[in-house]
């Protein structure tokens, strides 16, 4: 012990990569348990910027064992591209472990992701186009391909045949695309088998052993609570379990092994892709947040939608994930405002909601009820203790803490590793 879970509390891009990196020197394992290369985590170390997608952010910490667990969907081509790029920059990636039970994103999953979105037209999700949804659909549909299958060509061929059988009908007859052959898919996947073999193992055994022997294991979520397949703004979500429960099913450790759950939350809100977003701004304030916060997607380069902090979402994330600690990021971006509105509740067709409506119709109708907090003008990027913050910034943080119902244990005041205000230790017993 301890097992620590780290999740995004909003719609992603809260700064999970930076938060993981912060804990890097104190953990032995960093486990990615959901999603795939739809994620985009930026980590800044000594002015060097790293963008990670499929790999857990812990890969940058010397001595950490990075693990891609069973809940992840793996695009093998991307895996090696990312590994090679890190190797070229002198990062030691030799400890990486990949679960044999993780599912593979095959080339046809990417194709189907893109054509489905085009077909959906104005009902599209705005996916990253990486094949995530179709790969998870195959997993649930029991026609997926797992890492283990790469090492048995006969089984691999049979599974590709089974999977392509239906898909080619769909691709050719519905989407008007060319059929994909079993051989091209087989060749594409088999070319990586030898290089993958030494990394692939039963990672659940490894992680349980690590916890048994007192190692610190950090489970790092991709995406976030509001993009979770069960608890997010369905259908405008990703296809995996991005909440704390996903850490358990996605890695093969029991819930009793988890000691703390850290929610990473931005001091304002952003969203990429389609779907409802009650506090979204369409004015110069929204543009200010986008420009100052550098709110452009790490994976697709899309401009992120921006809006004020939403305390209803923070309370929801606290409840769904059982948060024990919050890391509040990007407080520095709010510097220089007269007033900072915070959404404290919603008005849904004349009815006040203090808690998240999970009914899609109600959430689409939700209008934010704002409380205006005082802003501050002082540069806070050099603050390293809570008391270093100007009183009005302190009051903003305290107000957010009270509204969310979880203690704020660290505050981000800049993208760099040391631009953080530690308040409570993030690694602790339950
Ligand atoms: P992730 O997907 O949750 O890992 O987050 P992203 O990396 O997609 O987006 C977060 C962005 O904010 C990155 O560019 C980080 O370098 C940056 N960042 C993280 N924490 C802070 C902070 O406290 N202040 C500022 N200014 N930037 C931050
Ligand atoms: P990180 O880990 C923000 C969004 C997409 C789209 C929806 C479904 O960096 O926080 P998908 O390709 O997953 O089927 O797309 O989810 N999305 C993200 N938004 N940050 C992410 O990851 C995201 N991963 C997926 O924009 O709306
Ligand atoms: Mg991101």
The tens digit of pLDDT for each residue in 336-384 reads: 999 999 999 999 999 999 999 989 999 999 999 999 999 999 999 999 9
pLDDT tens-digit readout, 249-280: 999 999 999 999 999 999 999 999 999 999 99
Ligand 2 cavity residues, CB under 6 Å: 8, 11-13, 38-41, 125-128, 130, 132-133, 222-224, 227, 238-239, 272-273
Q: What is the spatial distance between Cα 383 and Cα 172, in angstroms, rounded to a whole number?
A: 59
Catalytic residue among 41, 103, 231, 266: 41
Catalytic residue among 13, 113, 310, 325: 13
Backbone angles phi, psi at 244, to 5 degrees: -60, -35
Judge whether 215 counts as a catalytic residue.
Answer: no
Q: Using most ligand atoms within 8 A of CB, pick from 6, 14, 17 the residue to mutate for ligand 1.
A: 17
Q: How many CA within 13 A on the CB side of residue 115?
A: 18
Q: Answer for the pair 39, 299: CB distance below 8 angstroms, yes or no.
A: yes
Cα 418 to averaged position of ligand 2 atoms, centre (Å)? 27
Provide the strand spans (E) within 286-365.
305-307, 309-310, 325-329, 339-348, 351-353
Mean pLDDT of the chain: 96
Ligand (nearest to CA of 41): 1
Cα 347 to averaged position of ligand 3 atoms, centre (Å)? 30
Catalytic residue among 32, 103, 109, 139: 139
pLDDT tens-digit readout, 115-163: 999 999 999 999 999 999 999 999 999 999 999 999 999 999 999 999 9
Q: What is the spatial distance between Cα 131 and Cα 67, in angstroms, rounded to a whole number?
A: 21
Judge whether 122 counts as a catalytic residue.
Answer: no
Ligand 1 cavity residues, CB under 6 Å: 8, 12-18, 39-42, 44, 294, 298, 329-330, 332-333, 412-415
> Between 107-120 and 132-140, two packed helices, what is the crossing angle to 10 degrees?
110
Segment 81-109 shows an average pLDDT of: 97
Judge whether 416 counts as a catalytic residue.
Answer: no
Flag whether pLDDT at 1 surpasses 80: no
User: In the structure, what pLDDT confidence band is assigned to residue 299 with cuts at 50, 70 and 90?
Assistant: confident
Percent of the chain with pLDDT over 70: 100
Cα 32 to averaged position of ligand 3 atoms, centre (Å)? 14
Query: Is 13 known as a binding-site position?
Result: yes
CB within 8 A of 150, min separation 6: which ones?
104, 156, 189, 190, 192, 193, 196, 200
Q: What is the DSSP string of 357-390?
A: --SHHHHHHEEEEEEEEE---S--TT--SGGGS-
């Amino acid at each position: 012990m301890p097992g620590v879970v780290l999740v995004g509390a909003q719609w992603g891009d809260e700064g999970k990569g930076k938060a993981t990196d912060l804990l890097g020197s104190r953990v032995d394992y960093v486990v990615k348990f959901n999603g795939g290369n739809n994620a985009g985590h930026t980590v800044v170390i000594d002015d060097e910027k790293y963008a990670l997608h499929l790999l857990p952010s812990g890969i940058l910490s010397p001595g950490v064992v990075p693990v891609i667990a069973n809940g992840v969907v793996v695009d093998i081509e991307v895996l090696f591209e990312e590994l090679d790029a890190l190797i070229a920059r002198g990062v030691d990636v030799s400890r990486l472990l990949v679960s044999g039970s993780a599912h593979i994103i095959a080339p046809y999953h990417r194709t189907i992701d893109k054509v489905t979105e085009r077909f959906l037209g104005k009902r599209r999700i705005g996916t990253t186009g990486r094949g995530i949804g179709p790969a998870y659909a195959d997993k649930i549909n029991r026609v997926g391909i797992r890492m283990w299958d790469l090492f048995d060509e006969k089984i691999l061929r049979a599974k590709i045949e089974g999977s392509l059988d239906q898909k080619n009908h769909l691709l050719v007859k519905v989407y008007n695309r060319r059929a994909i052959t079993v051989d091209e898919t087989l060749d594409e996947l088999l070319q990586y088998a030898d290089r993958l073999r030494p990394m692939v193992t039963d990672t659940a055994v490894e992680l349980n052993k690590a916890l048994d022997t007192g190692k610190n294991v950090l489970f790092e979520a991709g995406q976030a609570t509001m993009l979770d397949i069960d608890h997010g703004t369905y259908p405008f979500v990703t296809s995996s379990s991005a909440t704390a429960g996903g850490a358990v099913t996605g890695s093969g450790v029991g819930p009793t092994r988890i000691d703390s759950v850290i929610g990473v939350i931005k001091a304002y809100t952003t969203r990429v892709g389609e779907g409802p977003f009650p506090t979204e701004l369409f004015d110069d304030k929204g543009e200010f947040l986008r420009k100052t916060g550098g709110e452009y997607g790490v994976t697709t380069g899309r401009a992120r939608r921006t809006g004020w902090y939403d305390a209803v979402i923070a309370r929801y994330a606290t409840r769904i994930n059982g948060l024990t600690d919050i890391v509040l990021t990007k407080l520095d971006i709010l510097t220089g405002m007269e007033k900072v509105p915070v959404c404290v509740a919603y008005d849904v067709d004349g009815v006040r909601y203090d808690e998240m409506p999970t009914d899609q119709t109600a959430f689409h109708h939700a209008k934010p009820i704002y409380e205006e907090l005082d802003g501050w003008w002082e540069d806070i990027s050099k603050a390293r203790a809570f008391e270093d913050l100007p009183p009005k910034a302190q009051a903003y943080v305290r107000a957010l803490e009270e509204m969310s119902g979880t203690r704020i244990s660290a505050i981000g005041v800049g993208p760099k590793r040391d631009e953080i205000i530690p308040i409570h230790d993030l690694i602790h017993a339950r």
